């Protein structure tokens, strides 16, 4: 983002001068959050401020890129060939804008992308209709770069009276884009056809809803954090650091309110997910195989280096499990080895040590602490020099093993000359686990083994948000529990569920207060006394069917901790049963 | 591989002996000073070791070994991580002391029982009683046997407790321990040694005055790690005995890691070992990298393939091209001739190294005393500069020459003397002449001194002449003449000589400090794969991840992935697309939006077979792929689930604000 570009776009902005200037001003204040001198109402003056702003921003950006470069340099990126890729990527480039060359493809993609923001946009809310004048011209300017396309689309949609939240900077880009595009009309037409999936009442929702897709989809815009941060700010901060804290101190983050529930798609459970992925072909299998073969050629070297007292750590994108397995099967068949699946959620150092003492050393005794056990192991290995052990650890950086104490123990273990450790790490911050002392104990040799193979095993234990852990399960268990209850109890529960569903749209719904609930239950002849209801509720609570919260006024509120969809399904099922 | 292991061993031995030697001075001091133990205070030694924590282990081991040999059998090494409380500390202390005892007295049964008993009740009193027992035993039972082994031990050897990392002990534990032991100092001659990484002030910061007044502290400064490094470089690289050499870049990498990352001599050694391993593993001709004595044998046993390998070496090819045509043919076709030639070349190389080192040292003598150190203060910098390219073509060398031409006489003479010594001590035969020449210079300088006295007389007389002439006109004239003569003054003899000296040094440099890669067969002994080394020692896992995610083409050589700049093809692996999309988000990411963006991208990529009929199925698969990619990102630590909003994840990295 050099200055020339800024001025160029400034010049461009001169072409847009028939836009009423107060509206331009309004936009600037709205979007970039940069202070604009209000007194400058004259057209030419406003254009001048425009240019000024641009320069300011470009300056800021340049500085930012510079700082990121420094950061990456500080990371110790080396300027050598195998890692040359790394050095080429200065931090700045990670965020900076680059026009993709395969313009047609990307434009196509962008057109696909562009359809999404329209879906949740509500045409009723109008705030800045002034864009109308600008859009045709700007749309005539851009085609080659995808985001330009997209933004012109945004502008089109604005012409359909949208709340404009396009960051000011993006508009600048739009203006700066190459003037190739002939027309944008067909896109807008296609867009307008499908803009009714959901209607959202609140302006803010539209605002944010429109904003996030923009952020997500424009694959080459600068980091939106600036625009975001600026939005919350009154004055422009100079240093990135302050910006950072600014952004993190304000808890308000603008994202759309859409949830997965509203997406009319069933959640997948672990099994179906697995099946589906089995069906999906693995992309670039041949290349991945090549990569793996490349790594496999290093096996004998690894063996040699392990024997010379080094330990080996593998890093890089992709699961290294298969690679290690192959190493194991091809070279370690005849020797004593121990495989540790670090990604397993209940693995502990103790279990590792136990398996060494019990299975490798044939020792059947217990130890008071892992340290004692470690000492014992060290002693045994020192006494018996013929004893050799290969330890393979998948995911040395997993949740359970990344603690300081476990790493210390593992490091001490690996420093034994007759224990050969070969491990893999995946987490980006994994190297932070080790301080100087541990590093020297580990005596690592780093090997980059990027495999690109999916982390099948490793992620299967993660509690992903998207994988339905409990959805169908919850429903069936709900039914199951309720079937074993009395009719009255089921009635009570249904009452609560209905009430909760009625109130599902109010976000501040605290739950049904006990007193109200009691009243309702009495009216439905479900309970006859306060106590019976309480007893019933206790039973529910024991089965985790309900949760009680105490409100600010000390009143007890009852909530069913199940999402609305499941609850609806449940009620439907209940209706059928009845 | 055999050789490798030998070399490794040699290396380690070198290191250990070096470390022990460097610390022998401490031990001597400690011995002296333990003699005059005071009774009220606990004698304490504070070793300031510097920040290279990883090396301390070796140092301490060396110290305790030396102590054990010379002073006392009772030594306990304590580390902070073993001693969270005073109880653990005492336990550990007892255990270690008892073990020492076992070693010395070899009364295993009795002591083992003792140990197990003491497990539960470790106190100072039990320690004291044990100590009395032990000393009595050594005195009474086995005086004859002990005489040989511990004749140097005192009658009542002190108990030495070494705190390896003083800073990380909790203050409470230390205080308690010191207070308790100071009460028992009469019965138990205790000596403490603190290992300190930062500065001696830390003792006073950790311990209140009341406690520190119980200690009688003497401070020992260990050598700085840089000095260790230069000793090691001196010993390993700048000798002709050690056949393996490091290339310029490799050395630079190792030194950089040392200076900018850890200051750890151990790591430097590790890197050096790795170089050796890599060299012998990757270079098939490294068999020839051995002592000169074995070369002949090995060359004779070379197979035809290996000969071919030699012929393929670029440096050898260059060499062949320079030869006359018959010889070229012979070299390229006749194995035996090749072998002879190789042997000759290797010998040449060896001689070159010998000369190189001594001339390098000479040059270092000159450069290290010049102002601003144009060629570096340390010999390693000079070494790097010489390895990199022809040193006499660099600007720094020019400025060195200029500065050298301005040296005064005394400096020059001492330097010359040093050079003569170095060259005399080196084994090269070619230096006889140069030594003679330098000596000649020296004698000339001495002669000069005599002449200089005379010259002074002359100048004095001219001054007198000047005074005689009182005539204004004449005065003016003579002054002008004087000025003139001063300007165009011929160089004095000293200056002439100085130029000659510098020129001779210059010619030496030009003759002997040729960079190694100009020599034939340098690949055999030089290791140059700096990138490999750096990859293994100073890896950048984050960069690798970043590259893999941003530019999958780098790894997967598929044309479809090829694209320029920061963009990413929509055919990239799922995780790359998901990553790229997530980069555009703020602190929180809405999963639905993310999923939609992902599916549009993927649909665009797969558009040919995206029929309406199978769209539902496709959708599911895309959904599943998205889930997989997201959970992979989670595993990699880019995102984490967030409770702030439903169905949102939080970004964790790189400007996620």
Beta bridge partners of B217: B44
- In degrees, to the nearest 5, what angle opens at C-alpha A517 toward C-alphas A512 and A520? 130
* Chain B: residue whose CA lies nearest to A240: B655
Q: How does DSSP classify residue A358?
A: I
Name B113's Cβ contacts closer than 8 Å, sequence gap at least 6.
Answer: none
Find chain B residues with C-beta within 8 A of A220's C-beta: 566-567
Quick one: which of A220, A200, A183 has its CA closest to A119?
A200
pLDDT at A181: 36
A336 lies within 8 A of chain B by CB:
no
pLDDT at A108: 44
pLDDT at B509: 79
pLDDT at A257: 61
A244 lies within 8 A of chain B by CB:
yes
Do residues A338 and A421 make contact, with C-beta atoms less than 8 angstroms apart? Answer: no
Measured CA to CA, the distance from residue A19 to residue A152 in angstroms comes to 16
Is the pTM value of this prediction over 0.90? no
Q: Where are the alpha helices (DSSP H) in B184-302?
A: 201-206, 209-212, 225-236, 248-256, 265-282, 292-300
pLDDT at B490: 56
Q: Does A260 contact B539 at a Cβ distance shorter than 8 Å?
A: no
The dihedral sign for the CA sequence A134, A136, A137, A140 = positive
| Chain segment A383-426, per-residue pLDDT in tens | 887 888 888 888 888 877 888 888 888 888 888 888 888 988 88
Q: How does DSSP classify residue A467?
A: B
Phi, then psi, of B68 in degrees rounded to 5: -60, -40
- Mean of per-residue pLDDT scores for chain A: 62
pLDDT at A240: 62
A399-415 burial string, b = 16+ CB within 10 Å, else e? ebbbeeebbbbbbbbbb
Find chain B residues with C-beta within 8 A of A221's C-beta: 584
A277 lies within 8 A of chain B by CB:
yes
Q: Does A436 contact B585 at a Cβ distance shorter than 8 Å?
A: no
Q: How far apart are the first and last CA of chain B?
A: 53
* Domains defined for chain A, CATH in brackets: 285-448 (3.40.50.300), 471-577 (1.10.10.10)
Topology of the domain covering B1-26+38-100+157-223 = Rossmann fold (3.40.50)
Q: Does B637 contact A425 at a Cβ distance shorter than 8 Å?
A: no
Q: What is the dihedral of CA A138, A140, A145, A149, to 10 degrees?
A: 70
Find chain B residues with C-beta within 8 A of A433's C-beta: none
Question: Please, where in chain B does CATH 1.10.10 lie?
Answer: 541-607+615-651
Quick one: which of B453, B455, B479, B454 has its CA closest to B466?
B479
CA distances from B535 to A304, A436, B257, B391, B544 (A): 18, 18, 12, 29, 11
Measured CA to CA, the distance from residue B388 to residue B247 in angstroms comes to 8
Measured CA to CA, the distance from residue A280 to residue B318 in angstroms comes to 55
Query: Residue A498: in which H helix or E strand, if any?
Result: helix A487-502
Coil/strand/helix, residue B282: helix
Find chain B residues with C-beta within 8 A of A463's C-beta: 641
pLDDT at A481: 78
pLDDT at B492: 67
Q: Does A284 contact B546 at a Cβ distance shorter than 8 Å?
A: no
Q: Which two tokens stand for residue B249?
A: 């870049």
Quick one: which of B367, B366, B322 has its CA closest to B345?
B322
Identify from B546, B568, B601 which residue to disrupt to test chain A contact, counting A C-beta atoms within 10 A and taking the largest count.
Answer: B546
Q: H/E/C letters for each residue in B107-129?
A: CHHHHHHHHHHHCCCCCHHHHHH
Quick one: which of B625, B582, B653 has its CA closest to A464?
B625
What radius of gyration, in Å, describes the C-alpha atoms of chain A?
31
pLDDT at A216: 36
- In degrees, to the nearest 5, what angle opens at C-alpha B211 toward C-alphas B207 and B215? 100
Q: Does B597 contact A213 at a Cβ distance shorter than 8 Å?
A: yes
Measured CA to CA, the distance from residue A194 to residue A174 in angstroms comes to 25
Measured CA to CA, the distance from residue A234 to residue A36 in angstroms comes to 11
CB-neighbour burial class of residue A577 (10 A; exposed 0-12, middle 13-18, buried 19+)? exposed
pLDDT at B105: 40
| Number of A–B residue contacts, CB under 8 Å | 324
A321 lies within 8 A of chain B by CB:
no
The architecture of the domain spanning B541-607+615-651 is Orthogonal Bundle (1.10)
Do residues A529 and A466 make contact, with C-beta atoms less than 8 angstroms apart? Answer: no
Q: How does DSSP classify residue A468?
A: -
Q: Does A253 contact B588 at a Cβ distance shorter than 8 Å?
A: yes
Look at residue A557 and tell me whether its pLDDT is greater than 80: yes
Question: Please, where in chain B does CATH 3.40.50.300 lie?
Answer: 1-26+38-100+157-223
- Return the higher-pLDDT residue of A446 and B181: A446
* Chain A: residue whose CA lies nearest to B653: A428
Low-confidence ranges of chain B (pLDDT < 70): 1-75, 80-88, 97-158, 185-189, 198, 218-225, 228, 235-236, 239-242, 286-287, 289-292, 375-376, 426-432, 449-471, 484-492, 558-570, 606-618, 643-646, 654-657
Choose the most confident range, by mean pLDDT, from A203-217, A501-515, B98-112, B551-565: A501-515
Q: Does A277 contact B625 at a Cβ distance shorter than 8 Å?
A: yes
Q: H/E/C letters for each residue in B453-515?
A: HHHHHHHHHHHHHHHHCCCHHHHHHHHHHHHHHHHCCCCCHHHHHHHHHHHHHHHHHHHHCCC
Taking every pair of Cα atoms in chain A, the longest distance, rounded to a whole number of angstroms, is 90
- Return the higher-pLDDT residue of A71 and B531: B531
Look at residue A231 and tell me whether its pLDDT is greater than 60: no
Of chain A residues 21-80, which have a CB less than 8 A from chain B? 68, 72, 75-78, 80
pLDDT at A206: 35
Place of tokens 């500085």: A63
pLDDT at B299: 77
Choose the most confident range, by mean pLDDT, from A104-108, A134-138, B41-45, B446-450: B446-450
- In degrees, to the nearest 5, what angle opens at C-alpha B38 toward C-alphas B36 and B42? 115
CA distances from B249 to A7, B232, B510, B581 (A): 44, 18, 22, 39
Tell me the DSSP string of A4-48. Answer: HHHHHHHHHHHHTTTS-HHHHHHHIIIII-----TT--SHHHHHH
Average pLDDT (A558-568) is: 77
Closest CB to B545 among A116, A317, A463 = A317
pLDDT at A126: 34
| Chain segment A311-353, per-residue pLDDT in tens | 888 888 888 888 888 888 888 888 888 888 888 777 888 888 8
pLDDT at B328: 79
* Chain B: residue whose CA lies nearest to A256: B590
Find chain B residues with C-beta within 8 A of A77's C-beta: 540, 543
pLDDT at B615: 58
pLDDT at A539: 84
Q: Does A436 contact B262 at a Cβ distance shorter than 8 Å?
A: yes
Coil/strand/helix, residue B52: coil
| Other beta carbons less than 10 A from residue B538's beta carbon | 20
Look at residue A14 and tell me whether its pLDDT is greater than 50: no
């Amino acid at each position: 983002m050099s200055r020339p570009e800024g001025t160029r776009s400034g010049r461009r902005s001169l072409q847009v001068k028939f836009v009423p200037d107060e509206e331009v001003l309004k936009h600037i204040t709205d979007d970039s959050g940069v202070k604009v001198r209000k007194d400058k109402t004259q057209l030419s003056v406003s254009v001048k401020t425009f240019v000024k702003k641009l320069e300011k921003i470009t300056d800021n950006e340049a500085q930012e890129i510079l700082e990121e470069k420094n950061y990456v340099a500080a990371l110790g990126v080396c300027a050598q060939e195998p890692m040359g890729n790394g050095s080429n990527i200065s931090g700045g480039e990670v965020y900076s804008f680059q026009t993709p060359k395969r313009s047609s493809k990307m434009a196509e993609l962008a057109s696909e992308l562009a359809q999404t923001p329209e879906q949740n946009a509500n045409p009723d809310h109008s705030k800045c209709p002034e864009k109308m004048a600008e859009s045709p011209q700007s749309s005539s300017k851009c085609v080659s770069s995808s985001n330009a396309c997209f933004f012109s689309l945004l502008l089109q949609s604005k012409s359909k009276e949208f709340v404009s939240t396009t960051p000011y900077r993006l508009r600048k880009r739009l203006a700066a884009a190459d003037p190739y595009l002939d027309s944008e009309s067909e896109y807008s037409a296609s867009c307008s056809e499908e803009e009714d999936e959901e209607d959202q009442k609140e302006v803010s929702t539209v605002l944010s809803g429109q904003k996030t897709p923009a952020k997500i989809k424009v694959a080459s815009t600068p980091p939106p954090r600036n625009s975001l941060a600026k939005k919350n700010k009154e004055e422009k901060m100079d240093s990135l650091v302050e910006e950072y804290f600014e952004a993190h101190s304000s808890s308000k983050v603008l994202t759309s309110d859409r949830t997965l529930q509203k997406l009319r798609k069933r959640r997948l459970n672990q099994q179906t997910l697995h099946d589906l992925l089995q069906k999906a072909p693995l992309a670039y299998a041949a290349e991945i195989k090549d990569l793996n073969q490349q790594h496999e050629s290093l096996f004998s070297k690894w063996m040699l280096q392990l024997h010379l007292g080094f330990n080996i750590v593998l890093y890089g994108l992709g699961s290294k499990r298969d690679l290690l397995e192959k190493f194991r099967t091809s070279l370690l068949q005849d020797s004593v080895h121990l495989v540790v699946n670090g990604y397993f959620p209940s693995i502990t150092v103790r279990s590792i040590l136990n398996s060494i003492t019990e299975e490798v050393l044939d020792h059947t005794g217990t130890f008071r602490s892992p340290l004692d056990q470690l000492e014992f192991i060290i002693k045994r290995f020192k006494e018996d020099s013929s004893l050799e052990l290969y330890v393979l650890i998948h995911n040395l950086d997993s949740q359970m093993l990344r603690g300081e104490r476990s790493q210390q123990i593992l490091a001490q273990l690996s420093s034994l000359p007759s224990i050969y450790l070969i491990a893999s790490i995946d987490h980006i911050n994994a190297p932070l686990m080790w301080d100087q002392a541990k590093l020297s104990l580990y005596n690592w040799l780093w090997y980059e083994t990027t495999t690109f193979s999916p982390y099948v095993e490793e992620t299967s234990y993660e509690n992903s948000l998207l994988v339905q852990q409990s959805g169908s399960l919850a429903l069936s268990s709900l039914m199951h529990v309720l079937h074993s209850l009395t009719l009255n109890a089921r009635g009570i529960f249904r009452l609560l569920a209905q009430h909760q569903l009625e109130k599902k749209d109010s976000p501040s719904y605290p739950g049904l207060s006990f007193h109200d609930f009691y009243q309702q239950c009495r009216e439905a002849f479900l309970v006859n006394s306060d106590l019976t209801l309480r007893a019933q509720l206790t039973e529910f609570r024991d089965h985790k069917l309900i949760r009680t919260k105490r409100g600010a006024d000390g009143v007890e509120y009852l909530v069913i901790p199940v999402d609305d969809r499941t609850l609806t399904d449940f009620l439907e099922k209940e209706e059928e049963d009845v | 591989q055999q050789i490798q292991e030998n070399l490794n061993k040699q290396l380690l031995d070198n290191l250990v002996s070096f470390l022990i030697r460097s610390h022998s001075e401490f031990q001597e001091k400690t011995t002296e000073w333990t003699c005059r133990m005071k009774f009220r205070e606990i004698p304490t030694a504070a070793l300031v070791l510097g920040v290279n924590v990883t090396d301390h282990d070796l140092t301490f081991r060396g110290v305790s070994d030396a102590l054990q040999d010379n002073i006392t059998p009772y030594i306990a090494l304590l580390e902070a991580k073993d001693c969270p409380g005073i109880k653990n500390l005492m336990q550990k202390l007892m255990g270690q002391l008892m073990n020492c005892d076992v070693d010395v007295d070899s009364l295993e049964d009795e002591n083992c029982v003792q140990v197990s008993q003491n497990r539960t009740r470790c106190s100072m009193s039990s320690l004291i009683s044990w100590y009395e027992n032990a000393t009595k035993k050594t005195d009474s039972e086995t005086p004859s046997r002990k005489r040989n082994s511990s004749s140097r031990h005192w009658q009542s050897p002190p108990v030495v407790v070494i705190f390896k990392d003083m800073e990380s002990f909790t203050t409470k534990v230390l205080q308690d321990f010191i207070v308790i032991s100071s009460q028992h100092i009469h019965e138990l001659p205790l000596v403490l040694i603190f290992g300190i990484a930062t500065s001696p002030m830390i003792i006073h910061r950790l311990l209140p005055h009341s406690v520190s007044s119980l200690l009688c502290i003497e401070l020992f400064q260990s050598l700085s790690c840089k000095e260790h490094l230069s000793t090691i470089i001196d010993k390993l690289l700048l000798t002709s005995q050690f056949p393996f050499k490091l290339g310029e870049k490799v050395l630079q990498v190792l030194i950089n890691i040392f200076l900018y990352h850890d200051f750890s001599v151990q790591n430097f050694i590790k890197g050096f070992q790795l170089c050796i391993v890599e060299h012998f593993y990757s270079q098939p001709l490294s068999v020839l990298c051995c002592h000169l004595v074995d070369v002949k044998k090995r060359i004779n046993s070379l197979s035809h393939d290996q000969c071919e390998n030699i012929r393929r070496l670029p440096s050898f090819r260059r060499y062949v091209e320079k030869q006359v045509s018959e010889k070229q043919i012979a070299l390229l076709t006749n194995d035996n001739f090749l072998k002879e030639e190789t042997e000759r070349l290797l010998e040449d190389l060896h001689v070159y190294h010998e000369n190189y080192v001594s001339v390098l040292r000479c040059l270092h003598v000159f450069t290290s005393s010049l102002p601003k150190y144009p060629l570096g203060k340390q010999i390693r910098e000079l070494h790097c500069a010489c390895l990199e390219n022809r040193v006499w073509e660099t600007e720094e060398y020019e400025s060195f020459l200029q500065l050298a031409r301005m040296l005064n006489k005394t400096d020059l003479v001492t330097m010359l003397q040093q050079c003569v010594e170095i060259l005399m001590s080196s084994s090269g035969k070619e230096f006889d002449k140069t030594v003679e020449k330098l000596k000649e210079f020296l004698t000339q300088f001495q002669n000069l001194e005599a002449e200089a006295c005379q010259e002074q007389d002359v100048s004095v007389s001219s001054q007198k002449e000047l005074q005689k002439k009182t005539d204004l006109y004449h005065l003016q004239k003579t002054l002008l003449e004087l000025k003139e003569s001063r300007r165009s003054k011929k160089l004095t003899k000293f200056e002439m000589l100085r130029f000659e000296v510098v020129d001779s040094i210059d010619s030496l440099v030009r003759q002997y400090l040729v960079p190694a890669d100009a020599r034939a067969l340098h690949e055999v002994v030089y290791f140059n794969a700096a990138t490999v080394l750096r990859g293994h020692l100073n890896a950048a896992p984050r960069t690798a991840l970043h590259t893999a995610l941003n530019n999958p083409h780098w790894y997967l050589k598929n044309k479809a992935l090829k694209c320029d700049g920061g963009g990413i093809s929509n055919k990239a692996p799922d995780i790359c697309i998901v990553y790229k999309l997530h980069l555009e988000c703020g602190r929180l990411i809405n999963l639905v939006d993310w999923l939609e963006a992902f599916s549009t991208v993927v649909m665009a990529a797969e558009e040919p077979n995206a029929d309406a009929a199978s769209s539902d199925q496709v959708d599911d698969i895309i959904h599943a792929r998205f889930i997989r990619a997201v959970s992979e990102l989670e595993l990699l630590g880019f995102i984490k689930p967030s409770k702030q909003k439903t169905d949102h994840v939080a970004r964790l990295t790189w400007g996620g604000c």
